[in-house]
Structure formats: C-alpha cells, structure tokens
Amino acid sequence: MIVTVTPNPSIDRTIQIDRLDRGRMIRARAATSEAAGKGLNVSLALATEGVDTSAILPLAADSATVYLRLLADAVPITAVPIKGAARVNVSLVEPDGTVTKVNEPGPQLGPDDVEAILAAASAVAGSGWVVGCGSLPPGAPVDFYARLIALGSEDRRIAVDTSGEALGAAVCARAALVKPNTVGAGDALLAGFLAAGGGSDALGNAIAWSVAAIRSPGTRMRPVTAADRGAVIVHARVDSSRRLRS
C-alpha cells in the first residue's frame, strides 16, 4: 500500500486560449476542471496502473461537493474536514504548447487541522510507503513534513516531495526519500519510482510513467503504454563525454 498525504489539494482548471494578451479580454476555446493536488496526483497515477493506494487530504467545506464530484471515486480517500474552499490552480494553454500557470495559496489550516491530517496518516498507513507531497497551505507549520517523517518505522518508509523551507526541514528530518518539487511530470515520476519498489532499479519505470504523463492531456496520467516504456533507455553509468543540451 502506498499512502499519499496532500496538505494543499486543488481544483486544477485548464483553459485553452488562442493567445495570452496582457490587459486584454480573452475568450477561451475550451476549459476543463480536475480534482488534483500533488499527493492525490501520485495516487491517481498509481491507481491507473493498478497499484494499491489511498490518499489523505483536507476537504474544504465550501468546495467539497465539487471536489468529490470531480474526483469521482478514482481513488479511495481519507478526508479531513476543514473550513474554507479548495484553491483553484489555473493553467492557460496556448496552441504552441506555452502554459501560463496561476496557483492560489489554499485555505487556512489551524493547529487542529494539522494534527488531524497527521493523525489520519498515522491511522491509515501500515507497512509500505507514506508520501507527503506539495506546497504547504497558509497556517501549516514549516516542519509539517518533518512531523510526518517522524511517523516512519522500519516497515513504514516516508517520502517527501516539496520545496523551499519545508524541503529543508524534511531533509534534516531524514526522510527515506526526498524529491524536490520541479515543474513537469514529477508526480508521475515519483509514483512510478515507488511503484517499482523505490530502489535504484526503479528509475526506468519512473521515467516511463513520466513520459506517459507528459503525453497526457490535463493533470491525470493516462495508462502507461509499451511505447512509453520503449522511449526509456537507462545507462549503467553517466557518459561524461556526452554534451548536455539546455
């Protein structure tokens, strides 16, 4: 079982436009919405590939109905009720592939909310991986993921995917696995890595999943195909003579 913890879930809104003109009225060609959040995205990728997973997240009261409708029981969740509304992250996509993202900060978490999320993680997680992912919402302490790491044991390993001060605190707390939060297919990469066991031989699977994510519309990764796996070549060592491209 791989359990994900997402302290700052979102509704991801993708809007197709012809061109981004600052200061102008822009008409959208199409728009879609998805229930999302980095940890939830990891669980969605795992569920797509048939891996046992569960997602823990705060469920904001004002947007709970919409969020659950968009999620459509794609993965089992443990919801911690909180006040406010889930953040909405907007992606403006132009025909040439240029994407402009605007992410809201998220609802305020109180100390009781933080304790409830960590308690849910402790209660749901058994052996296997617990994965804390994403930015921290307003009110969440910078050591949130460090406190999650403290729940680890010999048979319950903790992975963290975040950035900034929260990442520094997680590194100091000695998580079993730390991945800096970079833009791209990082959620699928992490999901594929953990699904393959989280060892050095899992790299090829992780990259294949990220290839599938890059080739997918929207936030959710489609099923990984043979073509995705065929695009991945893992070398035994780095070729120091090979020139890097920007």
CATH number at residue 193: 3.40.1190.20
- Could you tell me the two tokens for 130? 């617990």
Note whether residue 236 is domain-resident: no
Note whether residue 242 is domain-resident: no
**pLDDT tier for residue 95 given thresholds of 50, 70 and 90:** very high
**pLDDT tier for residue 73 given thresholds of 50, 70 and 90:** very high
Note whether residue 60 is domain-resident: yes
Average pLDDT of the segment spanning 163-170: 91
- 3-class DSSP string for 91-110: EEECCCCCEEEEECCCCCCC
Q: How far apart are CA 54 and CA 71, in angstroms?
A: 13
Note whether residue 240 is domain-resident: no
Note whether residue 71 is domain-resident: yes
Note whether residue 235 is domain-resident: no
What is the average pLDDT score of the chain? Answer: 91
Cα-flanking dihedrals φ and ψ of residue 221, to 5°? -75, 130
Compute the CA torsion angle 77, 192, 183, 41 (nearest 10 deg). -10
Which of 103, 112, 66 is CA-nearest to residue 85?
66
Which of 16, 22, 162 is CA-nearest to residue 90?
16
- Could you tell me the two tokens for 58? 């705060």
CB 54 within 8 A of CB 125: no
Residue with tokens 């296997």: 128
Q: What is the pLDDT of residues 39-54, one digit of tens each?
A: 999 999 999 999 999 9
Note whether residue 163 is domain-resident: yes
Q: What is the pLDDT of residue 128?
A: 86
Q: What is the pLDDT of residue 183?
A: 59
Q: How far apart are CA 158 and CA 118, in angstroms?
A: 13
How far from 119 is each of 58, 74, 95, 106, 191, CA to CA, in Å?
A: 12, 23, 45, 21, 23
**Could you give the number of structural domains in the chain?**
1
**Residue 235: count of CB within 10 angstroms of its CB:** 7
Domain limits for position 130: 2-230
Cα-flanking dihedrals φ and ψ of residue 121, to 5°? -65, -40
Q: What is the pLDDT of residues 132-144, one digit of tens each?
A: 999 999 999 999 9
